[in-house]
Homo-oligomer: A and B are copies of this chain.
Amino acid sequence: MIIDGHAHLILPVEKHLALMETAGVERTLLFTTRVHPERAHDLETLNQELRIFNEIIAGKVNNDLQSFQQAVSEAAQVIQQYPERFTGFANVPLGLTQEETATWIEKYVLPAGFRGFGEFTMQSGAVHQLEVIFACASEYGNLPLWVHTLPPLNLDDIHQLVALSRRYPRVPLILGHMGGMYWRETIALAKEVPQTYLDLSGTITFLGPRIAIHELPMRTLFSSDAPFGHPLIARTIVEQATVDTAVRRRVLGENLAELLHLN
């Protein structure tokens, strides 16, 4: 099964399904979204859509509980509408107590059938906020976490994230975007920590996916990060980075299907 391991809902959903068709993607792991850059057609409208994007990523705006709840509810509706095409991860607010977080998860995440938590984004120096999330993920059957490892996070933050992961060895941790410009260091860290996975979206050089797949063929995951990326381009990267077709199939979907117990 070909699974796009990370995409934000593109509106209207028919446009998202058409992109999946173009790339031969059978299922997409969907993440909630609070901006829609795919609606922009030029620089001016794009700047309007992305105006508050960096503030959202840093957790400074759209960070209230109602905003999270609305985004999760939107994603849940699409997943219920197309259960054969979408599986979802739910975003969970940071900064709550463990009890408050558990209440939130039980109310909004588990009943809607989400299979994991994320995408988590935060300011540099704030990785410790994920401690509560790791603890809850561990309680609810070791659901996987998906963490954005591009700026504002830096290499120190990525080290702290992996150190936190070592304390929860049964909770799978997906290193979203594979550390960005720190991809070589992130691959090296992932090699040491067996419950970590490398997400291939947003990488700046083709060398990153090629070396990641070579080093960790069972723990590297194809994904587009649509609408910031594109499923066909992301699939072409994996196809050009692999020679062995069994490895290619694992990266394009089998690794994620096993992790999420799909089929």
A46–B233 CA distance with the chains assembled, in angstroms? 24
Contacts of A260 in B (CB 8 A): none
Contact yes or no, A187 B43, CB < 8 A: yes
A230–B237 CA distance with the chains assembled, in angstroms? 8
A110–B206 CA distance with the chains assembled, in angstroms? 33
Does A202 lie at the interface of the complex (its beta carbon under 8 Å from any beta carbon of B)?
Answer: yes
Nearest B residue to A231 via CB reads B240
Does A228 lie at the interface of the complex (its beta carbon under 8 Å from any beta carbon of B)?
Answer: yes
Tell me whether A184 and B46 are in contact in the complex, defined as CB-CB below 8 angstroms, given that A202-B205, A204-B202 are known contacts.
yes
Q: Chain A interface secondary structure, helix, strand, loop or mixed?
A: helix
Does A229 lie at the interface of the complex (its beta carbon under 8 Å from any beta carbon of B)?
Answer: yes
Interface size for A (C-beta < 8 A) is: 34
Contacts of A205 in B (CB 8 A): 202, 225, 228-229
Contact yes or no, A47 B207, CB < 8 A: no
Tell me whether A42 and B211 are in contact in the complex, defined as CB-CB below 8 angstroms, given that A205-B202, A233-B233, A236-B233 are known contacts.
yes
Contact yes or no, B43 A215, CB < 8 A: yes
A41–B43 CA distance with the chains assembled, in angstroms? 39
Contacts of A232 in B (CB 8 A): 236, 240
Copies of this protein in the complex? 2
Considering only residues 163-212 of chain A, those with a C-beta below 8 Å from chain B are 180-181, 184, 187-188, 191, 202, 204-207, 211
Residue from the list B181, B202, B206, B215 in contact with A230, Cβ < 8 A: B206
Considering only residues 79-125 of chain A, those with a C-beta below 8 Å from chain B are none
Considering only residues 1-43 of chain A, those with a C-beta below 8 Å from chain B are 22, 37, 40-43
Contacts of A59 in B (CB 8 A): none
Give 18 A-B pairs besides A42-B215, A43-B215, A207-B227 with Cβ atoms closer than 8 angstroms: A41-B214, A42-B214, A43-B184, A43-B191, A43-B214, A50-B184, A202-B205, A205-B225, A206-B227, A206-B229, A206-B230, A206-B233, A230-B237, A230-B240, A233-B233, A233-B236, A233-B240, A236-B236
Closest 4 CB pairs of A and B: A205-B228, A206-B230, A236-B236, A233-B236
